[in-house]
């Protein structure tokens, strides 16, 4: 798979960023030649976009990174929304091939595949929203450059962690990964440890001990943390009210949701939303 090496011992340079919402189901991405890198993270629908002679299908939760001088154009109607970030690096463009072998960890160097699926897209979106809030509030170059670099580093670390995990084959590690995936795909329900134990066919005490040993966090705490990560994403990316968000995450009582959010995040849901309220929204 093609990937791009980027030096981050000094910050990357942010050019422009925003969130795009297709104005209609018939929208097709414009044609242009990129002057810098563009990172696209799709949050809804599917983006059909070409870079030179390559046709990409980018689904919800996936990203695409295109380098400078790419001839970019849409090749099919795309009813979608996505966050995007244009940046450039002082380093000359370096294209590398990556495999399923363990990644090499070099200080000051990150490697981003041309495309892929994110383990925690909600975290990336919150960070991109924070960058947009910074642009609107301060528009201070140094801050924007560093925040953009942090986003790329987070993306690199998520992918590196995923590749390392895929190399592990022990039964316990596979069970742990299956539990993590199950929690992720059922964040909108009230998940209990006892229900997880029944689902996977293990003793509740054993399952909890295994999870804590591998992750360093109790299973009950991890379930709550993941719900609050989803809550932060919804607060950041939508205008839903607190009652709607609580219901969407499986809470019957809004007050229990607000109490849990304050305990995990350290801010009320309203305070968190107001802290990064100035999204940059585009329809063209």
Q: What is the pLDDT of residue 1?
A: 82
* 66 compared with 99, residue with greater pLDDT: 66
pLDDT score, position 164: 55
CA dist 227 → 181, 204, 240 (Å):
13, 21, 16
Q: In this prediction, what percent of the chain has a pLDDT beyond 70?
A: 94
Q: Are 194 and 212 in contact (CB under 8 A)?
A: no
Per-residue confidence at 65, pLDDT binned at 50, 70, 90?
very high
- Average pLDDT (43-69) is 96
Contact call for residues 8 and 107 (beta carbons, < 8 A): no
Q: Is there a contact between 243 and 97 (Cβ–Cβ < 8 Å)?
A: no
Domain residue spans of the chain: 2-166, 171-275
Percent of the chain with pLDDT over 90: 76
Residue 144 to residues 18, 85, 128, 203, Cα–Cα distance (Å): 13, 11, 11, 49
pTM: 0.83
pLDDT higher than 60, residue 169: no
Q: Which helix (H) or strand (E) holds 127?
A: helix 121-137
What is the per-residue pLDDT across 6-17, written as a single tens digit (0 to 9) for each? 999 999 999 999
Helices (H), strands (E): how many in the chain? 9, 12
Classify domain 2-166 by CATH architecture. Answer: Sandwich (2.60)
- As a whole number, mean pLDDT of residues 152-163 equals 85
CATH architecture of 171-275: Orthogonal Bundle (1.10)
Q: Are 100 and 3 in contact (CB under 8 A)?
A: no
- pLDDT given at position 163: 61
Per residue in 74-111, pLDDT (tens digit) is 999 999 999 999 999 988 778 888 764 445 567 789 99
pLDDT tens for 238-251 read: 999 999 999 999 99
> In the predicted model, what is the mean pLDDT of the chain?
91
């Amino acid at each position: 798979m093609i990937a791009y090496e980027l030096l981050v011992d000094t910050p990357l340079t942010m050019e422009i960023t925003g969130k795009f919402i297709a104005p209609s189901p018939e929208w097709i991405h414009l044609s242009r030649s990129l002057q810098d890198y563009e990172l696209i993270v799709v949050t809804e629908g599917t983006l059909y976009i070409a870079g030179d002679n390559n046709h990409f299908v980018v689904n919800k939760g996936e990203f695409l990174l295109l380098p400078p001088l790419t001839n970019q154009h849409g090749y099919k109607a795309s009813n979608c929304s996505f966050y995007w970030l244009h940046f450039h690096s002082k380093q000359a463009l370096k294209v590398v091939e990556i495999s399923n072998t363990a990644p090499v960890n070099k200080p000051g160097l990150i490697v981003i595949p041309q495309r892929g699926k994110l383990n925690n897209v909600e975290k990336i979106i919150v960070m991109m929203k924070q960058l947009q809030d910074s642009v609107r509030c301060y528009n201070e170059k140094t801050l924007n450059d560093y925040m953009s670099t942090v986003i790329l580093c987070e993306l690199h670390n998520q992918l590196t962690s995923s590749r390392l995990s895929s190399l592990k084959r022990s039964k316990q590690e596979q069970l742990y990964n299956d539990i993590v995936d199950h929690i992720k795909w059922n964040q909108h329900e009230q998940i209990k440890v006892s229900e997880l134990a029944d689902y996977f066919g293990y003793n509740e005490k054993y399952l909890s001990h295994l999870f804590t040993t591998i992750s360093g966090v109790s299973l009950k705490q991890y379930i709550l943390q993941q719900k609050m990560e989803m809550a932060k994403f919804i607060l950041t990316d939508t205008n839903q009210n607190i009652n709607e968000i609580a219901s969407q995450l499986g809470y019957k009582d809004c007050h229990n949701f607000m109490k849990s959010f304050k305990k995990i995040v350290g801010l009320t849901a309203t305070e968190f939303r107001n802290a990064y309220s100035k999204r940059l929204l585009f329809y063209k």
